[in-house]
Amino acid sequence: MAFLAWVTLLAPLIAAITLLVRPRLRGSSGGPKLAIFSVFICAATSLVFWLFRSETVTTSFEWMTVGDLTISIGLLVDNLSTLMLLVVGLVGSAIFVFARGYMKGDPSIGRFYAKFALFVFSMLGIVLADNFLMMFIFWELVGASSYLLIGYYFEKPSACDAAKKAFLTNRVADFGFLLGILMIWSLTGSFEFAKIADAVKDGDVSGPQWQLTLAGILIFVGAMGKSAQVPFHVWLPDAMEGPTPVSALMHAATMVAAGVFMIIRAFSCFDLGVGATALGGASMFIATTGGVTAFLAATIALVQRDIKKVLAYSTLSQLGYMVMALGAGAYSIAMFHLTTHAFFKGLLFLCAGSVIHGCHHEQDMFKMGGLRKKMPATFWCFTIGMFALMGLAPLAGFFSKDLIIDSLHQKHLVGLQIGATVTAALTALYMTRAWLLTFFGEYRGHATPHESPPVMTRPLKFLAFVSAVIGLVFYYGHGQDYLSAWHGKFAGPLHMDPTIAVVSTVAGVVGFLIALALYKKSHRGGEKIVARFPRLHSLLVEKYYIDDSYHWLVQNVQQVIARGCRWFEEAIVVGVLVGWPVGVTRWTGDRLRRMQSGRLAFYASCFVGGVTILILFLYTVAH
Amino acid sequence: MIGIFFWLFAALLTVSGLLAITRRNAVSAALWAAVSFIAIAGIFVLLQAYFLAVVEVLVYAGAIMVLFLFVIMLLNLREEDLQVLEGPRLHILGVLLAAGFLGGLVWTCRRAGLYDAKNGAIKMTAESVGETKSLAAPLFMEYVLPFEIASFLLLAAIVGAVLITKKRLT
Amino acid sequence: MTVGHLITLSGVLFTIGMVGVMSRRNILIVLLSVELMLNAVALAFVGFGAWRGNLDGQIMVFFAITVAAAEVAVGLAMVIALFRLRLTVDTDRVSLLKD
């Protein structure tokens, strides 16, 4: 089993390296096949883990020892990581296959697959890591490979900017993560999850409670970057500049889920038993952040024109749900939603990719329409994904989303519970709007839309099937025990309050009906509302001016500081501190250079003179 | 008797040495140097260093000077390549330095009492007779390691000389 | 003849060699001057050895002669290489490293 874990981790890396060092392989069709094969291996091994693993698999070796600090590289396969492996493996496989169709004809498809495989490797590293430090390394690798993939179309300035933005935003948040890791290390003396958990359980923490809370918040800040929570969410919509399969894999199914996964992994160390945690006030902060993100993102999604942007904001919103669940201490439910979301959001993104592909790379929904008849397979898959997202029973989202609202209810977080319910309505509204604009009415574009080839629709069908059944499987079947069984200490079996289910379903239906009323007849149905609330509309279009305020902040605060630093560097450091020695050295050098006459006789004379003086000195002084 | 020979050889050594460094023609410079080596060999004989005297004549006045002459003739220098001495300033500087050096040396020897007839007397004992047999014993016992190292040095010098003078390093 | 006289003679020869090194531009004569200096040192060794009444000085000279032979071989080889490269034995014309 341990060997299998290493295979899972290293297969994509080997594929990536092979693709990088064998340029000929990149041009041929063998390159993509190799990458796809490596991801299939991951999917297969994760299925083996899922079905046949009876206990936690651990394997590790020591990497380096510095003083008391021992850093090890180790893999940990428990219920949590198996579930995450399954998500990465299955969704990844579907997307890898899909990308072969989507990226067909791209001259550098080999480079694409190399980066893609590298990304999967980094992601698996996070999932399998058994200590914080290794997780952090792969965490940064995910950031780096996402930079590479978002900036895949590097000839486009906007793609480069988006890549930089994603990387830098993540870096800021990662700094919090690093600080959190170091803080935990100083508190418990270990990086390993198991040891940290033991230390916390035994109360063997060398610091007061507030420090532990602070460490929890710092780690959460790291997750806020990857999982795109307010105020670090700005990179995710821009990251849609990458190819659509990238958006599907990274910015819907796995990378953004890494933040949530990391929190679950990290916070399970702080769990003291059913419902209790050693983190104190951190949970409230987390839950609120999630709620704000969920609501803001859902409202922004209402006014987007780009189909991928709608899905991007929808992703933000759903991540907000997961984070709310984390805040409420319902880790298993957050993981459940993560799993279902990965499948249906991957599905939706791939459908969007299929639509974009069919419309010859048109992304504006207002230039689509009527695709229902031209792309039937895509349409049906999108419909399933949409209803799964909206939470229509018995599709996947119904269970996971209602369980999150239920967990908020149990913690008496009434405000968040209402917010989540309203957001459910908004979710239905913007998804239905996108659905109607894209697939109904008359075609408004200029291309000739066509259904995508089977290499693209087959993964869609696979994901649609999984999205349809996974909620049932988990709620009623095998997953039930599975989700509640980590470390044997997470809150008991999943069960849903029927009232809440009804309320949130009603909310969804209301959103659906409003969208239907507005957009059923014409794609211009929203204009009346816009005319009535112009300021609200511009507020949403401008994304609550968050990007602009960052821009202002950079322009007026950071730039001023930077200019000051530059002045300091040029005038003080270069001018005085460095300038003085430089001047003296240059002057002396100029004078001394003349001694280098190039005449051997002169050198010999100097030598003899020196020796003479030395001898005389020794004769006179030493005696 | 020894004193007379000493002064004779000393005068020969000084004159031939001076001539060796002032000759414009490298061939005559080398020949004068050979004469000075022979004078040194004479002084070695006076000091009972018979073996070294022979070696001095064989190796220096023989082998090394032949090598010098061989190279001089190989290069076949033209007359205008050979200036006698440097420009006057450096020339004077050199002589001054040399005079300072020599003066310091004499002064030190005087202070140490080396000119003193009793203190500075040279003891001609049986142990200090440098014949082949008496030199061979310490050379192959006490100094066997430096001896072997010297042989390696010579080997390296041979290989190095061949390598440097090869027309092109390939 | 005292040891002081020997050392002074050695010093005279050494100084002659030194002046040669300092003032000649023909690299062959510079090398020759170096040989003179080496011999001066050899003379000093033998002189001190005789003064002390043992053979150590002579042993030392034996090694010095060995080293001198090696030095001459390599030195002259370099002179030939230099002449082949620059067509000169004038030390003042070999000053590329100056710049």
Please give the model's pTM, rounded to 2 decimal places: 0.67
A491-498: Cβ within 8 A, 24+ apart: A491/A274, A491/A275, A491/A329, A491/A330, A491/A332, A492/A274, A494/A332, A494/A333, A494/A336, A494/A399, A494/A403, A496/A399, A496/A402, A496/A403, A496/A406, A497/A406, A497/A409
More confident position, A283 or A140: A140
Q: In whole angstroms, what is the distance from residue C33 CA to residue B33 CA?
A: 9
Convert the pLDDT of each residue in A444-472 to its tens digit: 888 788 888 888 889 999 999 988 888 88
Segment A7-32 shows an average pLDDT of 85
The values of phi and psi at residue B10, to 5°, are -60, -45
Q: Cβ contact (<8 Å) for C65 and B56?
A: yes
Indicate if A335 and A440 belong to the same structural domain. yes
Indicate if A168 and A122 belong to the same structural domain. yes
Task: Say which range, A295-299, A402-406, C88-92, has the weakest mean pLDDT.
Answer: C88-92
pLDDT-derived band at C26 (thresholds 50, 70, 90) equals confident
- Name residue, tokens 């999967």: A120
Establish if A296 belongs to a structural domain: no
Q: In whole angstroms, what is the distance from residue A272 CA to residue A267 CA?
A: 10
Establish if A286 belongs to a structural domain: no
Among chain C residues, CA nearest to A596: C98
Q: What are the chain A neighbours of C91 within 8 Å (beta carbons)?
A: 599-601
DSSP string, A430-483: HHHHHHHHHHSS---SSS---PPPHHHHHHHHHHHHHHHHHHHHHHHSHHHHHH
| Of the partner residues B91, B160, B167, the one whose CB lies closest to the CB of residue C23 | B91
Convert the pLDDT of each residue in A546-571 to its tens digit: 888 888 888 888 889 999 999 988 88
Establish if A374 belongs to a structural domain: yes
The kind and range of the H/E element at A268 are none
Indicate if A469 and A593 belong to the same structural domain. no
Q: In whole angstroms, what is the distance from residue C37 CA to residue A386 CA?
A: 99
Q: In whole angstroms, what is the distance from residue A525 CA to residue A302 CA?
A: 13
- Name residue, tokens 């349809």: A468
Tell me what pLDDT residue B84 has.
Answer: 47
Q: Cβ contact (<8 Å) for C80 and B71?
A: yes
Tell me what pLDDT residue A545 has.
Answer: 84
Among chain B residues, CA nearest to A605: B94
Residue A302's CB is within 10 A of a number of other CB atoms, namely: 18
| Of the partner residues A602, A609, A616, the one whose CB lies closest to the CB of residue B104 | A616
Tell me what pLDDT residue A274 has.
Answer: 46
Segment A66-91 shows an average pLDDT of 87
Q: Cβ contact (<8 Å) for C91 and A600?
A: yes
Domain of residue A113, residue span:
1-174+185-194+237-267
- Name residue, tokens 């996070």: A126
- Whether the pLDDT of residue A48 is over 70: the answer is yes
- Whether the pLDDT of residue B86 is over 70: the answer is no
More confident position, B51 or A272: B51
Q: In whole numbers, what is the pLDDT of chain C averaged over residues?
A: 87
Tell me what pLDDT residue A488 has.
Answer: 45
Indicate if A530 and A572 belong to the same structural domain. no
Exposure b/e, A357-372, CB count within 10 A at least 16 = b: bbbeebbebebbbbbb
Tell me what pLDDT residue C92 has.
Answer: 73
Indicate if A91 and A5 belong to the same structural domain. yes
| Whether C58 contacts chain B with CB within 8 A | yes
Question: Looking at A267, A287, A307, which one is the last position of a domain?
Answer: A267
Paired strand residues for A64: A71
Indicate if A416 and A526 belong to the same structural domain. yes
Report the complex ipTM: 0.90
Establish if A292 belongs to a structural domain: no
Tell me what pLDDT residue A489 has.
Answer: 46
pLDDT-derived band at C99 (thresholds 50, 70, 90) equals low
More confident position, A349 or A230: A349
Domains of chain C, each with CATH number or no CATH: 3-94 (1.10.287.3510)
Establish if A325 belongs to a structural domain: no
Q: State how many domains chain A has.
A: 3
Instruction: Note the Cα B38 to chain centre separation in Å.
Output: 9
For A147, A380, A583, the CA distances from A353, given in Å and listed in that order, are 20, 14, 62
Q: Cβ contact (<8 Å) for B74 and C29?
A: no
Indicate if A131 and A255 belong to the same structural domain. yes
Q: What are the chain B neighbours of C74 within 8 Å (beta carbons)?
A: 157, 160-161, 164
The values of phi and psi at residue B168, to 5°, are -140, 135
| Of the partner residues C21, C27, C95, the one whose CB lies closest to the CB of residue A599 | C95
Tell me what pLDDT residue B106 has.
Answer: 87
State the nearest Cα–Cα gap between C86 and chain B, in angstroms: 12
Convert the pLDDT of each residue in A397-408 to its tens digit: 888 888 888 888
State the nearest Cα–Cα gap between C11 and chain B, in angstroms: 6
Q: Cβ contact (<8 Å) for B135 and C67?
A: no
- Whether the pLDDT of residue A368 is over 90: the answer is no
Q: In whole angstroms, what is the distance from residue A331 CA to residue A323 CA?
A: 9
| Whether B108 contacts chain A with CB within 8 A | yes
Indicate if A486 and A573 belong to the same structural domain. no
Q: In whole numbers, what is the pLDDT of chain A averaged over residues?
A: 85
Tell me what pLDDT residue A41 has.
Answer: 93
Indicate if A580 and A522 belong to the same structural domain. no
Indicate if A598 and A450 belong to the same structural domain. no
The values of phi and psi at residue A65, to 5°, are -125, 125
Establish if A277 belongs to a structural domain: no
Q: Cβ contact (<8 Å) for B101 and C18?
A: yes
Contacting C residues, span 59-98, partner chain B, CB-CB under 8 Å: 59, 61-63, 65-74, 76-81, 83-84, 88-90
**Structure tokens given for B52:** 């070294």
Residue B100's CB is within 10 A of a number of other CB atoms, namely: 17
Q: Are C4 and B110 contacting, i.e. CB atoms less than 8 angstroms apart?
A: yes
Establish if A221 belongs to a structural domain: no
Residue C78's CB is within 10 A of a number of other CB atoms, namely: 16
Establish if A487 belongs to a structural domain: yes
Q: Nearest CA to A78 among A129, A119, A42?
A: A129
Q: What are the chain A neighbours of B107 within 8 Å (beta carbons)?
A: 619
pLDDT-derived band at A373 (thresholds 50, 70, 90) equals confident
Indicate if A516 and A559 belong to the same structural domain. no
Indicate if A250 and A388 belong to the same structural domain. no
